[in-house]
Amino acid sequence: MFNIFRRFGRKHFLGVDFGTSSIKVAELSIRNQKPCLENYSWACFNVVSSDQKADEITRDELMKISLEKIIKKMKPVSGSAYISVPAYTGLITIFELPYMEKNELEQAIKFEAHKYIPASEEEVIASWDIIKSEADNSPAGSGKRVKILLVAAMKEEISRYEKIMKAVKINVRAAELETFSIVRSLIGDDAGTYLIIDIGFRACNVILVEKGVIKISRNIDTGGNDITKSVAESFNVSWEKAEDMKKQQKDLINSKESGVVIYSLELIIDEIRRILESRKSENSSSGKIDGIIISGGSANMKGLAGYISNTLGIRAVIGNPWKKIVFDEKLKSKIEKLGPSFSVAVGLALRGIEEQKSK
C-alpha cells in the first residue's frame, strides 16, 4: 500500500528531558535539510529545600502534571518522542579486552560487563560498541587489545518515564542516557577533545569526548541544589532566598567579599583534576583538551565559567545547543539564556533528525 509517511518521512521530532527539578521539551523539524526549532517549553516541579527526598510516587505524579501542561501549551506535531534517562541512574564505561574472534568477543564482553553493572541482568538494559582501534585489522592473538564502550540503564527507570509519556498519549520512539543527548547537541561532529560539565539540580555529569566519542562519563552526586545550600549557609538565609541570590547578576563565586565556599564546585574540580591526571599518566597521545563546555541550569551561574577556566587553566564556555539550529530571530535573546538547560531536550530531538536522515 502507498505509504504517505514513508514517502515524505517524519518532519517533526520531539525531545523530552526528564530532569530532577524540571522537564524540558523541544520540537525540531527539518526544513531545507536543516534542523529548525519549532517549539519549546519547560516546567519546574515544586521541589523544595528540605533534605527529605520527595516520595518517588509523588515525584512521578508531579512530572506527569508538568508534562501535561507543557504538551497542552506546545501542541506538538509529533505523536512520538525521544526521552532521556538521568545520567546518574545509568552507566557508561570503557574497558579493554584482548583482541579475539567476533563470537568469542561477544561472550567475553558479556562476562566482563557483569563486573561493571551493579544490578542483575533482568534489571538492566545493556548495550556495547567496539570502539575503532588499531586492532581492527589485526589477527586474533596478536597481542592487540580492543576497547569496548558499555552502556547500561535501569529498566525500572525507563519504564517510569514511559508511563508518564503514555499518560500524555505520546509514544516513546527511544530512550537514552542524557549523556548521549548532551554530546549530540553540544559537540556533534566536532573532531576536537572536550570536557563537558553538566550541572543540574541534583547531580553533575562530567563527560570527556574525543572526536565525538564518549571516552569517560562520571557522575558526581552534587549539583545546583547543593550550591543553593552553600549560599544559604554562608549568608544565613532561607533556601528560597539563596536560590534567588544565586540567579542574580552578582558574582558569588569569584568575589572575595562574598566569602561563599561552594563545596560542590570543589568536588567537581577535584574529579576533573583526577581525569586530567589519569590522562597524563596514560600518556594519551591526544592528551590536549580543546575546551570545557558547561551545561545544565547551573551553567548560567555568574562567574562559573571564569572560575573553572582559572582553576583548571583550560578555557570554559557555556554550552550552546542552538548553534546548529535555525530559529526565529525574535527568540534569540530568550533561548540563548535557556541554552544550557536545553542541551538534553535538543540533543534528543536531534537524534530523531539523524535517524531520519540515515534512512
By C-alpha distance, which of 335, 356, 359 is closest to 30?
356
CA pair distance 262, 199, nearest whole angstrom: 13
- In the complex, the smallest distance separating the C-beta of residue 218 from Mg ion, rounded to whole angstroms, is 15
Q: Which stretch binds ligand ATP (CB under 6 A): 53-61, 70-78, 131-139, 294-302?
A: 294-302
Specify the residue for cell string 574529579.
Answer: 271
List, as own/partner pairs, every contact residues 355-358 make where C-beta atoms lie below 8 angstroms and the sequence separation is at least 24, other chains included: 356/9, 356/10, 356/13, 356/30, 357/30
Give me the 297-326 binding string for ligand ATP, x by CB under 6 A, dash otherwise: xx-xx-------------------------
- In the complex, the smallest distance separating the C-beta of residue 280 from ligand ATP, rounded to whole angstroms, is 29
Q: Is 224 in the site for ligand ATP (CB under 6 A)?
A: yes
Q: Is 341 in the site for ligand ATP (CB under 6 A)?
A: yes
Half-sphere exposure of 69 (CA within 13 A, CB side): 14
Does residue 3 come out as left (phi exceeding 0), alpha (psi in the -120 to 50 range) or beta?
beta
What residues line the site for Mg ion (CB under 5 A)? 19, 200
By C-alpha distance, which of 354, 345, 357 is closest to 82?
345
**Closer by beta carbon to Mg ion, 20 or else 193:** 20
Residues 6+ apart with CB under 8 A from 229: 49, 239, 242
Q: Which stretch binds ligand ATP (CB under 6 A): 75-83, 98-106, 113-121, 224-232?
A: 224-232
The dihedral formed by the CA atoms of 94, 97, 99 and 102, expressed in degrees to the nearest 10: -80
Specify the residue for cell string 572575595.
Answer: 256
- What is residue 309's three-state secondary structure? helix
Q: Which does 339 bind (CB under 5 to 8 A by kind): ligand ATP, Mg ion, none?
A: none
Give me the 178-217 binding string for ligand ATP, x by CB under 6 A, dash otherwise: ----------------------xxxx--------------
- In the complex, the smallest distance separating the C-beta of residue 148 from ligand ATP, rounded to whole angstroms, is 27
Grid coordinates representing 51? 533534605
Out of 15, 19, 76, 90, the only residue in the binding site for ligand ATP (CB under 6 A) is 19
**Closer by beta carbon to ligand ATP, 33 or else 333:** 333
Q: Is 10 in the site for ligand ATP (CB under 6 A)?
A: no
Q: Which stretch binds ligand ATP (CB under 6 A): 61-69, 114-122, 154-162, 293-301?
A: 293-301
**Closer by beta carbon to ligand ATP, 193 or else 298:** 298
- Alpha helices by DSSP H, listed for 262-342, are 263-281, 304-312, 332-338
- In the complex, the smallest distance separating the C-beta of residue 163 from ligand ATP, rounded to whole angstroms, is 18
Contact residues toward ligand ATP (CB under 6 A) are 19-22, 86, 200-203, 223-225, 228, 243, 246-247, 296-298, 300-301, 341
